[in-house]
């Protein structure tokens, strides 16, 4: 069943299951004539999946990263199908999405070609040395480039040189093309890691990013999908923020979910509600630039603006702590039901308690269960979209 194929739980999803999902999903989309196997053959797609999604790859083993990658794949389909994008653009965007962000670990080699990041003295930076670099430069990793290059040499179904270049270009472009976070990081405008990449004394960059490749429609689909997953509530978001980056921020669950406006002294730790605002703006910027570049006409840009709203509709409801309707699909309703308390009491508990706080142990399982419900709702939405395409 298509819905079962799309659904996954980042907590329990294994690397082997992830690989199998990629194989079956690509085959299913090919059977439905939504991707073009003459552009990327099933053999090439399977080779790339096996090359990057491995048991010895830290970026594949980390559920915080792996859940993000799979969420983005689903968003590529969402945008490509709602735009009615040409099959070649959707195929390239999706295949690039299946293996993007899988160079993310300290010590991973960086490229040494025209897209090599360089130190301030002009010498190539040969590997990622810090967490900041692994986050900010992973789209310039050498492993993905080499995997795409090797896929050209397959005896059966090898990639055409132009397709390999297009896949590579999509992955390189998305680092700055889809993420305001990464652009700020490389500019030093980041309270966590900015000083690692920009000298605070003179404002000079310690790491020089290469110029962006020219964008094509597949870049637009990929970049929109990447920006969108940053603002979609679900298990991947819980892994990345309350259980990951922000765990020691001192913020409550309610603040992480629903606060309005950046909290004083909290740096770049935005609530999911604020991420919705920032990343929606980013998506609209991507669409606007694509229109200026002649990649979208008025009708296409309007379709994608509408698609952004559709992709985030469920999350906007999920974090809305003002909804009182009994059937509203908010995290506050789910917690109230799970604790057997009123909606007001659930709101109070979530806004007073955060990771590691007293009483959080009763809230956390309910948060994860509510997030999984969000994931399943989006899975059903996407399955219906694919079926009707």
Q: Give residue-wise pLDDT tens across range 56-105.
A: 999 999 888 888 899 999 999 999 999 999 999 999 999 999 999 999 88
In a domain, 273, yes or no: yes
Q: Are residues 157 and 263 in the same domain?
A: no
Query: Is 124 part of a structural domain of the chain?
Result: yes
User: How far is Cα 228 from Cα 280, in angstroms, rounded to an integer?
Assistant: 7
3-state SS assignment for residue 118:
strand
Q: Is 265 left (phi over 0), alpha (psi -120 to 50) or beta?
A: left
Query: Is 332 contained in some domain?
Result: yes
Task: Using pLDDT thresholds of 50, 70 and 90, give the confidence band for residue 262.
Answer: low
Residue 364 domain-assigned (yes or no):
yes
Residues 158 and 61 in one domain: yes
- Compute the distance between CA of residue 198 and CA of residue 27 in angstroms, rounded to an integer: 45
Q: Judge if 184 and 295 occupy the same domain.
A: no
CA atoms within a 13 Å half-sphere pointing along the CA-CB vector of 149: 6
Collapsed DSSP state (helix, strand, coil) of residue 92:
helix
Checking if the pLDDT of 170 tops 60, the result is yes
pTM of the model: 0.94
- Which of 167, 187, 213 terminates a domain? The answer is 213
Element (H, E) at 126: none
Output the DSSP codes for 284-301: HHHHHHHHHTTS--HHHH
Question: Which pLDDT tens digit goes with each residue over 267-281?
Answer: 566 789 999 998 999
Residues written for the chain: 389
Whether residue 151 sits in one domain with residue 273: no
> Do 205 and 254 belong to one domain?
no
| Dist CA 224 CA 280 (whole Å) | 9
According to the model, what pLDDT value does residue 269 have? 66
Which residues lie across from 124 on neighbouring strands?
118
**Residue 328 DSSP SS3:** coil
CA–CA distance, 294 with 301 (Å, rounded to integer): 11
Angle at which helices 63-83 and 15-31 cross, to 10°: 10
Picking from 47-56, 96-105, 174-183, 235-244, which range would have the lowest pLDDT averaged per residue? Answer: 235-244
Cβ neighbors of 317 (< 8 A, separation 6 or more) are 323, 328, 329, 330
Whether pLDDT at 166 is above 70: yes
Burial class of residue 126 (count of CB atoms within 10 Å of its CB; 0-12, 13-18, 19+): middle
Same domain, 16 and 164: yes
- pLDDT score recorded for residue 63: 84
Residue 223 located in a structural domain: no
Domain that holds residue 317: 230-389
Question: Does one domain contain both 245 and 377?
Answer: yes
The three-class DSSP label of residue 124 is strand
Tell me which residue of 213, 214, 211 sits closest to 118, measured CA to CA: 211
Same-domain status, 209 and 234: no
103 and 28 within one domain? yes
Domain count, the chain: 2
- The whole-number pLDDT of residue 265 equals 41
287 shares a domain with 208: no
């Amino acid at each position: 069943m298509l819905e079962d194929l799309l659904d996954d739980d980042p907590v329990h999803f294994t690397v082997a299951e992830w690989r199998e999902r990629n194989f079956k999903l690509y085959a299913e989309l090919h059977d439905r004539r939504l991707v073009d196997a003459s552009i990327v053959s099933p053999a090439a797609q399977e080779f790339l999946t096996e090359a990057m999604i491995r048991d010895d790859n830290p970026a594949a083993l980390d559920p915080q990263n792996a859940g993000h990658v799979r969420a983005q794949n689903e968003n590529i389909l969402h945008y490509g199908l709602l735009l009615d994008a040409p099959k070649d653009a959707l195929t390239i965007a999706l295949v690039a999405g299946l293996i993007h962000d899988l160079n993310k670990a300290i010590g991973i080699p960086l490229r040494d070609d025209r897209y090599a990041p360089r130190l301030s003295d002009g010498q190539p930076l040969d590997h990622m040395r810090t967490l900041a670099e692994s986050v900010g430069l992973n789209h310039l990793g050498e492993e993905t480039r080499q995997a795409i290059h090797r896929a050209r040499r397959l005896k059966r179904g090898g990639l055409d040189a132009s397709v390999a270049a297009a896949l590579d270009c999509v992955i390189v472009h998305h680092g700055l093309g889809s993420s305001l976070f990464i652009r700020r990081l490389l500019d030093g405008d980041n309270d966590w890691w900015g000083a690692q990449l920009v000298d605070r004394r003179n404002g000079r960059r310690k790491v020089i990013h290469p110029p962006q490749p020219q964008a094509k429609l597949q870049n637009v689909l990929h970049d929109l999908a990447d920006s969108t997953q940053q603002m979609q509530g679900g298990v991947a978001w819980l892994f990345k923020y309350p259980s990951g980056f922000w765990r020691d921020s001192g913020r409550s669950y309610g603040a992480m979910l629903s606060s309005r406006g950046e909290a004083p002294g909290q740096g770049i730790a935005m609530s999911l509600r604020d991420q919705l605002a920032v990343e929606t703006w980013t998506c609209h910027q991507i669409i606007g630039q694509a229109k200026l570049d002649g990649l979208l006409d008025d009708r296409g840009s309007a379709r994608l603006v509408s698609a952004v709203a559709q992709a985030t509709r469920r999350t906007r409801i999920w974090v809305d702590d003002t909804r009182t309707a009994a059937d509203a699909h908010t995290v506050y309703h789910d917690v109230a039901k799970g604790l057997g308390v009123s909606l007001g009491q659930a709101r109070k508990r979530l806004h007073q308690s955060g990771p590691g706080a007293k009483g959080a142990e009763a809230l956390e399982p309910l948060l994860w269960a509510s997030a999984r419900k969000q994931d399943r709702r989006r899975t059903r939405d996407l399955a219906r979209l694919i079926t009707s395409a």
